[in-house]
Amino acid sequence: MPKKRKSGGKTGSSKGNFGKVQCVNCGRFVARSKAKAVTRRTNLVDSRMFGELKKSGTIIMGGSTKAYYCISCSIHKRMYAQRAKDERRTD
Ligand SMILES: [Zn+2]
């Protein structure tokens, strides 16, 4: 059977199985190597307060949240763009 993509749509090394993660948007379970991971910074204080505290010289710690999206949702949200058929396989 012809292969659509060299990697089979996965990332990473030659490791066999990856754990499953849940898509934040639709709830589908996908392998971690196939999911799109997005890390975002989270602010603990709101923006107006943040400006005031910054003026007074306060060091504000922020957290970060990691979210996983399945391929269908990441295409829908335009994180990825579809490539033309002849551009897909590169080998
Ligand atoms: Zn999804």
* Residues at Cβ < 5 Å from ligand 1 ion: 23, 25-26, 28, 70, 73
Per-residue pLDDT, 90: 67
Nearest C-alpha neighbor of 10 from the set 90, 18, 72: 18
Return per-residue pLDDT of the chain as tens, 91 residues. Answer: 877 777 777 886 677 788 999 999 999 999 998 999 999 888 888 888 888 888 888 888 888 899 999 999 999 998 888 888 888 776 6
Query: For the chain, what are the domain ranges?
Result: 20-75
Per-residue pLDDT, 91: 63
| Ligand 1 mean position, distance from CA 35 (Å) | 9
| Ligand 1 mean position, distance from CA 62 (Å) | 27
pTM of the complete model: 0.69
**Quick one: tokens of 3?**
């292969």
